[in-house]
Amino acid sequence: MEVSEPVATRILHPLDLDIAAATAVAVVGPSGAGKTTLASLIGALQQPTEGSYRFDGKEIAGMSRAGLAEFRARDVGFVFQHSHLIEERSVTANVELGLVGADLSRAERADLCTTALEWVGLAALAARRSGFLSGGERHRVAIARALVKSPRLIIADEPTAALDQETGRGILELLANATVHGATVILVTHDPRAAEYVDAVHRIVDGRLVDEAHS
């Protein structure tokens, strides 16, 4: 698949990439190489201008906006570089945002949020306002929000960029462990430590997939 901006600047050149289910892969490369664009295509945040993107055999490219939204709601969890928590809301309220579209009762929602927060080790902070959390805690909440609906795909964009070494490792470990729950994890990162936690590393330079390394 490939994508271009309206003025015909090619951001991603045609590339073939197969990612096995329930594996963790890292997409690495220099700034501006097209890593985030690739992640956004895989996460169905935007459509490729050409080519095909199949998820579990189903064609995603060409889906309607509503279809893409349903796909994201059902199958994709995102962890963004800056967590993107709604700071004025509680930790639980932020995690619950990940349950959009789920036909669940209030109690079921609460249970799922608690489970997700336990998994990232923040159950004790469930009622705390997100704005009062540390950087590492915020990332954990973002991971819990991505995991709460048990997605089949988790996309993490620079999840360790603003964190110290130890906290970063903890986050990478948490994300890599998500594969245990059957999720496929795609890490978009500059962090060389990511290779230690993933099954494969894909390098992108100037919009081209230049090599592939397996750990």
Do residues 154 and 125 lie in contact, with contact meaning Cβ atoms separated by under 8 Å?
no
Per rule CB under 8 A, is residue 82 in the interface with other proteins?
Answer: yes
Q: Of these, 39, 42, 95, 163, which contacts other proteins (CB under 8 A)?
A: 39
Query: Which of 15, 22, 61, 69 lies at the binding interface for other proteins (CB under 8 A)?
Result: 69
Q: Which of 78, 187, 197, 201 binds other proteins (CB under 8 A)?
A: 78
- Kindly state whether residue 197 participates in binding other proteins, applying the rule CB under 8 A: no
Residue in 70, 167, 200, 203 binding other proteins, rule: CB under 8 A: 70
Rounded CA gap, 57 and 70, in Å?
16
- Our CB check for other proteins shows the closer of 90 and 199 to be 90
Stretch that binds other proteins, among 49-57, 94-102, 172-180, 200-208 (CB under 8 A): 94-102
Question: Is residue 215 at the binding interface for other proteins, with CB under 8 A as the rule?
Answer: no
The answer to the question of residue 47 lying near other proteins (CB under 8 A) is no
* 61's tokens: 């490219």
Site residues for other proteins, window 112-171 (CB under 8 A)? 145, 157
> Which positions lie near other proteins, rule CB under 8 A?
36, 39-40, 43, 45-46, 65-66, 69-74, 76, 78, 80, 82, 84, 86, 88-89, 93, 97-98, 100-101, 103-106, 145, 157
